[in-house]
Amino acid sequence: MRSPNFRNDQTSFARALFHPDEESPANLVDPSGAHAPKRFGVYRNNVVVSLIDNLASTFPACHSLVGEEFFRALAREYALNFPPSSPLMIYYGDEFSQFLNQFKPAQQVPFLADIADIEYKRVKSYHAADGQRFNPASIADAPQDTLDSAKLKLHPSFYWSLSRFPAYQIYARAQAGKTLEGISFDEAEITLICRPEWDVQTQSISPNNKTALTALAAGFSLSTSVEIAQKSDPEFDLQALLTQLLAIGAIERFKFKSGATK
Amino acid sequence: MTKAQTPEIGVGFKPEHFANIANDKPNLSFFEVHAENYMGDGGPPHAMLRALDENYDLSIHGVGLSIGSDGPLDRPHLMRLKKLVDRYQPKLVSEHLAWSSHDTERNMLFLNDLLPIPYTQRTLNRVVEHVDQIQETLGRTLLMENPSTYVAFSETEMDEISFITEMQKRTDCRLILDVNNVHISANNQKLDAYQYLDRFPLHAVGEIHLAGHATDTDDDDAPLLIDSHDRPVAPPVWDLYRYVVKKVGIRPTLIEWDNDVPDWPTLYAEAVAARETMLTQTGETSAHALA
């Protein structure tokens, strides 16, 4: 974990903010010149509470899954150990999922880190650059062999998240305020995340798409991606994956070999 | 007969109000946004800002430049602000007399609050240097906001007004007079808010802020006011606003409400109240302003 190591003049102030057990800096006083630890406590409280509130708004499903008290305790622990390193608070929480994976008390809810991964990727998708909507006419007359060698140009707001749990189903239930009753927790799931227009969309697909999705995202052609995927899963069906990617707006266009994209 | 001046009234924009604003086209002059919330690459934040920009002036209010930092300015962050300002060409660009980033040996630490600075010659020089650097980079005048504070520093060499007056003179920046902050700091630092306003360099005020505050207690169990932006503007702050407006005349005025954000009609009612106050105090009438 990162632990702040301060140096210059504002050091003692910054350090004391994150160490509630330590005394407030001696140069902080009230108008009469008396040492004023309670007044300093306002800053201490503001900083930590603002970070916890920020995490609560970035991770609403995690918050609803574990409840207010437990979530705030986890968030406080994260805030004290992983304070923001940039003024871009819209992106705060980038290590929250990894933190939940490693932090013992969070492991009572073994899928929590994966839900946090989905939620953080939703935030990145929300702020990602605007992209193009796929035009089906652009491939209508492409010959099969050209299509095979095509690569995908994915939408800038597209992310995916693999879980050994049915993370999408859990996420969706939590967001709808429903219980997890009836979910079989040993099913793995891939969650697709994309913002083709205004709203960020999430969709689940089978985990057997993992290899092909990795290959396509890495820039391999359709045919090569299928080849790689079929090594571990001879039944792998690319058509089904492409249909799902198109449905969520994850594909901007097919890039054809000649360099001319249709 | 001279044409009546219309008070420029704005509110802090919250995405949850976007649909109301798009439908109602409220009679406001400007919306203010926190710069850092619009530093992503795209998506709804920019779509909303572009839509607002079509009908209203924009004011970009930074909360992350940490101008009061002892160390150098966060250059990449300043460039992000420049990109945003260049893109939207807002009517106003502002920041705070405070610090929020701390450069440790390992990495940058962002504290997500507007922290106080001691008023010394050394910090003044540093702040002036930073404001100059920002104005030079952005190629425009920055508005600097007076802070709300909960503590004082034993090393203080001058009072807040002397510090702000000198900063303004040396950088030729303009000022946001946050009247709620004046009320808060006056209570917390045991000063007279009206005397504070009498000494404030009002000629340089380019915008006035109004917001709500909470009440806590200090080490002696005396009331300590907290700049919470989570409720309506309090009556004593409206009194100070009337006093200021009587002195300075019509100035752009903003309602800030950042936490426990109310529904749109509640927020808009605060803006209407600010307009009415400004018209009454400056001797204009509603009929003029709406004409």
Q: Which domains does chain A have, with CATH numbers?
A: 1-109 (no CATH), 130-262 (3.90.930)
pLDDT in tens, A175-214: 999 999 999 999 999 999 999 999 999 999 999 999 999 9
B1 found inside a domain = no
Contacts of B264 (CB under 8 A, 6+ apart): B17, B20, B21, B24
The two three-digit tokens of residue A45, written as one number:
């409280």
What's the pLDDT score for residue B5?
A: 63
Say whether A158 sits in a helix, a strand or coil: coil
CA-nearest of B284, B275, B291 to B8 is B275
Cross-chain residue pair B110–A37, CB shorter than 8 Å = no
B88 found inside a domain = yes
pLDDT band at B272 (very low <50, low <70, confident <90, very high): very high
The mean per-residue pLDDT over the stretch A3-25 comes to: 76
Residue B60 belongs to domain spanning: 9-290
Rounded-to-integer distance, Cα B183 and Cα B166, Å: 22
pLDDT at B290 over 60: no
pLDDT in tens, B14-62: 999 999 999 999 999 999 999 999 999 999 999 999 999 999 999 999 9
B18 found inside a domain = yes
Count of structural domains within chain B: 1
DSSP state of A207: G
* CB proximity B106 to A under 8 Å: yes
B44 found inside a domain = yes
* CB proximity A130 to B under 8 Å: yes
CA-nearest of B55, B71, B67, B70 to B13 is B55
Closest chain B C-alpha to A46 CA, distance in angstroms: 7
Task: Using an 8 Å CB-CB cutoff, list chain A residues near B39.
Answer: 88, 90
B4 found inside a domain = no
What's the pLDDT score for residue B285?
A: 55
pLDDT at A48 over 70: yes
DSSP annotation string for chain B:
-PPPPPP-EEEE--GGGHHHHHHH--S-SEEEEEGGGG-SSSSHHHHHHHHHHHHSEEEEE-SSS-TT-SS---HHHHHHHHHHHHHH--SEEEEESSEEEEE-SSSEEEEEEEE-----HHHHHHHHHHHHHHHHHHTSPPEEEPPP-S-EETT--S-HHHHHHHHHHHH--EEEEEHHHHHHHHHHTT--HHHHHHHS-GGGEEEEEEE--EEEE-TTS-EEEE----SPPPHHHHHHHHHHHHHH-S--EEEE--SS---HHHHHHHHHHHHHHHHHHHT--HHHHH-
Residues within 8 A of A (CB atoms), B 229-288 only: none
What's the pLDDT score for residue A185?
A: 95
Closest chain B C-alpha to A171 CA, distance in angstroms: 22
**Considering CB atoms only, which of B80, B154, B188 is closest to A33?**
B154
B82 found inside a domain = yes
Contact B199/B162 with Cβ under 8 angstroms? no
pLDDT at B289 over 50: no
The mean per-residue pLDDT over the stretch B73-101 comes to: 97
pLDDT in tens, A92-140: 999 999 999 999 999 999 999 999 999 999 999 999 999 998 887 777 7
Residues within 8 A of B (CB atoms), A 36-95 only: 36-40, 42-43, 46-47, 50-51, 54, 83-90
φ/ψ of A161, rounded to 5, equals -140, 125
Q: Please report the number of interchain residue pairs, chain A to chain B, with beta-carbon separation below 8 angstroms.
A: 153
Say whether A74 sits in a helix, a strand or coil: helix
Task: Using an 8 Å CB-CB cutoff, list chain A residues near B51.
Answer: none
pLDDT at B105 over 80: no
Domain harbouring B28, CATH code: 3.20.20.150
B2 found inside a domain = no
Residues within 8 A of B (CB atoms), A 230-259 only: none
Q: Which amino acid is residue B211, in one-letter code?
A: A
Can you say whether residue B87 is alpha, beta or left, with left for phi > 0 and alpha for psi between -120 and 50 degrees? Answer: alpha
pLDDT band at A150 (very low <50, low <70, confident <90, very high): very high
pLDDT at B279 over 80: yes
